[in-house]
Structure 1
Amino acid sequence: MKTVKGFASATVGNVACGFDVLGFAITEPGDEVILTLSDRAHTDSPVSISAITGDGGALPLDPKKNTSSFVVLKFLEYIRAHKQIDFTGHISLELRKHLPLSSGMGSSAASAAAALIAANELMGLPCSKMELVHFAIEGERVACGSAHADNAAPAILGNFVLIRSYTPLDLITIPSPEHLYCSLVHPHTELRTAYARSVLPQEISLKTATQQWGNVGALVTGLLTSDYDLIGRSLVDVIAEPKRAPLIPGFFEVKQAALDSGALGCSIAGSGPSIFAFSSSEKTALAVGNAMKEAFLHSKAHLQSDMWVSPICKEGARIL
């Protein structure tokens, strides 16, 4: 028997203006997946789930319905067909959730990425990280019905990732400026991704699209040139944030508190309810995060929240 533990951290999708095409990873928190390989084959499935902790019993134990095990099944199918690896054993999976569910922090992507990095290690590294992203994206389809990559790709690859195209999949990694820090605040409430997507417009005006394109291009330029002022000016979402902000109690007060404390910019993390802000130093990011927590607490909903301050994760999913 052989055991491997994989880890993948929280991610922020959309990054304000980059709806479904831009995401980044932070260093913590994250999910752990422990895979144990045995020679004895099971007749029902090559992968089973032995335990899940930290989810409050919410996640399914069926390996075809759980994101972390589903991506391992797809990975095994792929290496049999394309890497000439004849897998006849069995993998037992233990998922340790440290990310809250329905949080906008890439919880399902982290579980998938951690499982895939561990499975790849178990099988002798037959796939590159870029290949693993394909399976992680399919895990997102299981989790929320939409196979988007803005969490899955940075969870595996690290840094910022721009999705130029989904068909075919074309990913571009963007290095992070040295002093860019993220304050990520998760209020103790849930906002399901499917519902958050349902409130979005199916069509937008040319004027709105042009505004969004300009901000995406400027944000990427700011990241590549370490232009912190440009990064801040570009964190403007004219499509998703106006529709989703009312779904997050205290959003406007929290965003204003972040900006008043020195944040470069602030927006919804993924589909919410978490909110992220960028700062150009760790000291400022700590002050920003604390201000955001206070604003949630003093909002009409009086929400408690958790806060993390982190640089951008450059490594992505890794073996512990």
Structure 2
Amino acid sequence: MKSTKAFAPATVANVSCGFDILGFAIDQMGDTVTLSEREKPGLEVLSIKGDGGKLPYESHKNTCSVAIQAMLDELGVNPGIEIRLEKGLPLGSGMGSSAASAVAALVAANELLGNPFQKNDLLPFAIAAEKAACGAGHADNVGPSLLGGFVLIRDYHPLDIIKLPVPDGLHCVLLHPHYELNTSDSRSVLRDQIPLKHATIQSGNVAGLIAGLFQADFQLISRSLRDVIAEPYRAVLIPGFYEVREAIKSAGAMGMGISGSGPTLFALCEGNEKISDIIEAAQQVYRSIGLEVDAYHSAINTRGAYIL
């Protein structure tokens, strides 16, 4: 009986101005899924580690098995597969936890089945798992987790995803306060309609950010990290948001935003010389409001998910 193991990285979705259309992958942090063949047909989740007992074992609810089942349905096969999930990401963190599980499961399943799909072709199955996990089938987490680097989701009908360049020396700091924020709560505060003025500003910032990535223009990237559509409503749900933003920009960050739906915050930095100052500045703010925070530093992961 064959067995495969795959890793999928954490991600930052939205990237400030790129609400639901931009994301990038983080190095080292992520989820690991091990799959093993068995004689009995069907999927079975055998073990989940690192979730604090919160994730479901039922195959129609678990992100890993939902993603794999979507793939098997497309192939028209029903093999026996056992699933073991190791969570390296906190739940409800805004770091693409459910996406990493689904992507790792798909990459492992594709290998186990003899690689019937190209990597890009796994995306619809990952999106189906995201929809089952949080009710919205967005690709701004699963896209970069699978493919690595910066990813633009131009359209969903049909799915059109573009990998963007990553300038040398671009680094990221993630700040994860010990505070859980549900994706449903973050989405509930958003407005169904936005003023034309805000749509124009947002479009300019998205274009500027993408141009900055292509030109390796860190100043342009910095100026473009501004969200006028989602962040003003979501920021009030995250303790210390504005204080942290001011502190880390003064310490040398290019800009800061909410990672996914929060409460994790991300900051982009040119090089890594100011990383320790940025982290210390953020920690001081969180200490002042009585919150613990986990801080991570990473280069941008350009590899995406892979077989271990």
Contact 1:175 1:223 in 2 (8 A): yes
Report the counterpart of residue 242 of structure 2 in structure 1: 252
Q: Which residue of 1 aligns with 2:32?
A: 32
Query: Structure 1 residues 192 and 88, CA, compared in 2 at 3 Å: closer, same or farther?
Result: closer
| Structure 1 partner of 2:40 | 41
Establish whether residue 212 from structure 1 lines up as the match of residue 202 from structure 2.
Answer: yes
Q: AA paired with 1:73?
A: Q
Partner in structure 1 of residue 211 of structure 2:
221
Distance 1:90 1:106 in 2: 28
Q: Which residue is equivalent to 1:264? A: 254
Please list the CA deviations of residues 30-80 of structure 1 after superposition, one character each: whole Å capped at 9, or x if unmatched.
Answer: 011110112x123xxx11100001111111000110111110111111123
Q: CA deviation at 1:298?
A: 1.6
Picking from 46, 66, 74, the partner of 1:78 is 74
Residue 167 of structure 2: SS of its match in structure 1? coil
- Contact 2:9 2:145 (8 Å CA) reproduced: yes
CA distance in 1, matches of 2:230, 2:215: 26
Corresponding letter in the other structure for 2:111: E
**Partner Cα distance (2:20, 2:305) in 1:** 20
Task: Show the counterpart of 1:166.
Answer: 156
Contact 2:72 2:78 in 1 (8 A): no
Match of residue 311, structure 1, among 289, 299, 302: 299
Could you tell me how far apart the structure 2 residues matched to 1:294 and 1:311 are?
Answer: 24
Structure 2 distance, partners of 1:30, 1:286, is 22
Q: Gaps (5+ residues) in structure 1?
A: 81-86
Q: Deviations over 1:249-272 (max 9, x none)?
A: 111111111101100000111110
What's the offset of the Cα at 1:88?
A: 4.7
For normalisation by structure 2, the TM-score amounts to: 0.98
Q: Secondary structure at the match of 1:282?
A: coil
Matched, 1:92 2:88: no
Aligned amino acid, residue 18 of structure 2 = G
Question: Which of 114, 119, 127 is 1:124 aligned to?
Answer: 114
SS of the aligned residue for 1:31 comes to: strand
Aligned equivalent of 1:61: 57
Q: What 5-or-longer segments of structure 2 have no aligned partner?
A: none
Match of 1:177 in 2: 167
* Match of residue 282 from structure 2: 292
Deviation of the 1:289 alpha carbon: 2.5
Q: 2: distance between equivalents of 1:292 and 1:78?
A: 46
Q: Percent identity?
A: 50
CA RMSD of aligned residues (A): 1.0
Match of 1:236 among 223, 226, 236: 226
Deviation string 1:178-205 (CA, Å, 9 cap, x unpaired) is 1000000100011100110010010001
Contact (CA 8 Å) 2:27, 2:299: kept in 1 or not? yes
**Structure-2 separation of matches of 1:250 and 1:297:** 10
Superposition map of 1:121-200 within 5 A: 121-200=111-190
| Counterpart in the other structure of 1:83 | none
